[in-house]
């Protein structure tokens, strides 16, 4: 197995929040909550162990999204692993709008790359492009790859992604996030299915202004976070799928807090600039996570060097 490392490799990949209110399918933020993916090439077979989030529901065979991503990366690299031994320590809640599927995709691609001798030829740009092909839109996968606050998009030709771009945008070090995670999830497909095919021009224009304001607010105008996270484009259409989340968003925003639905929901994320303790605002049965911004993105944590 000269093509592969002969030691296990561990990858750390962050949670992400997409949209951030008005930045539908183009703005994303990496958060300091991580899944750990450990892999080793073996002489044959597939062993998958899952602990933590999803340990009772995720598949243990080649249907697992990490395994599918790894096979896609191996194909790009022109290699085929005879067997794999995998362990996933999941801390990112599943189906909650915190990028668990993007973490699986990006983590799987990065893990496969790290296991291949010379895998660095599959660079981050190529990894991002393939991750976007698997995921379908770049606002979660891009910050999972590069970390921080990211403006991302894609060019499409003949119905297929032709180019993916992701630009790291400045974010003040004082800004962090608080995530309120409900006990049950909502599928991204169901949430996206509630969106209309068209919106009025005035709505689109208002939303563009808010998204531009958010970029400025995150860069160094935190007093504008409330205005910058106001959305007119997509959140209200999804309210029937997550009424408790929308009620919480409305309550928090009424108190001047920059709250919005994280990704497709139902997690509620609040951007704060002063490290405020919001744990007392967490509804019964939900969990509260005070999260810094992850500035590293996906990375190898073992073996060191």
17 annotated ligand-binding residue = no
136 annotated ligand-binding residue = no
63 annotated ligand-binding residue = no
57 annotated ligand-binding residue = no
99 annotated ligand-binding residue = yes
Are 225 and 217 in contact, with CB atoms under 8 Å apart? Answer: yes
85 annotated ligand-binding residue = no
Residue 113 tokens read as: 């790359």
Residue from 177, 147, 148, 32 nearest 91 by CA: 32
185 annotated ligand-binding residue = no
The gap from C-alpha 156 to its chain's centroid, in whole angstroms, comes to: 21
102 annotated ligand-binding residue = yes
Residue 261 tokens read as: 């639905």
**What whole-number distance in Å separates Cα of residue 260 and Cα of residue 248?**
9
∠ CA 132-138-144, rounded to 5°: 90
**What whole-number distance in Å separates Cα of residue 68 and Cα of residue 204?**
36
98 annotated ligand-binding residue = yes
103 annotated ligand-binding residue = yes
Angle between helices 124-135 and 138-146 (to 10 degrees): 150
**What whole-number distance in Å separates Cα of residue 87 and Cα of residue 95?**
20
The length of the chain is 305
Kind and range of the H or E element at 150?
strand 149-157
285 annotated ligand-binding residue = no
State the binding site. Answer: 93-103
State the binding site for ATP. Answer: 93-103
């Amino acid at each position: 197995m000269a093509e592969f490392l002969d030691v296990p490799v561990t990858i750390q990949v962050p949670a992400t929040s997409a949209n951030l209110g008005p930045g539908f399918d183009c703005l994303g933020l990496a958060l300091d909550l991580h899944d750990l993916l450990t892999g080793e090439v073996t002489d044959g077979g597939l062993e998958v162990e899952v602990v933590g989030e999803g340990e009772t529901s995720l598949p243990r065979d080649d249907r697992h999204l990490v395994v599918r991503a790894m096979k896609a990366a191996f194909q790009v690299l022109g290699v085929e692993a005879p067997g794999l031994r995998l362990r996933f320590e999941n801390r990112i809640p599943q189906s909650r709008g915190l990028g668990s599927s993007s973490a699986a995709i990006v983590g799987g691609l990065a893990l496969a790359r790290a296991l291949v001798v010379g895998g660095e030829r599959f660079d981050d740009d190529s990894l991002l492009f393939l991750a976007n092909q698997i995921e379908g839109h770049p606002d979660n996968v891009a910050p999972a790859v590069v970390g921080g606050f990211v403006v991302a998009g894609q060019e499409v030709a003949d119905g297929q992604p032709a180019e993916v771009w992701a630009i790291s945008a400045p974010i003040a070090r004082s800004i962090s996030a608080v995530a309120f995670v409900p006990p049950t999830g909502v599928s991204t497909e169901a949430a996206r299915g509630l969106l209309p095919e068209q919106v009025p021009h005035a709505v689109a224009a208002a939303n563009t202004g808010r998204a531009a304001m958010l970029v400025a607010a995150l860069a160094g105008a935190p007093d504008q976070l409330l205005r910058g996270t106001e959305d007119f484009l997509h959140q209200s259409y999804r309210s029937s799928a997550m009424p408790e989340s929308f009620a919480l968003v409305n309550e928090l925003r009424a108190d001047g807090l920059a709250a919005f639905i994280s990704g497709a929901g139902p997690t509620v994320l609040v951007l704060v600039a002063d490290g405020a303790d919001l744990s007392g605002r967490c509804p019964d049965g939900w969990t509260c996570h005070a999260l810094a911004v992850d500035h590293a993105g996906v990375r190898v944590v073992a073996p060191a060097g």
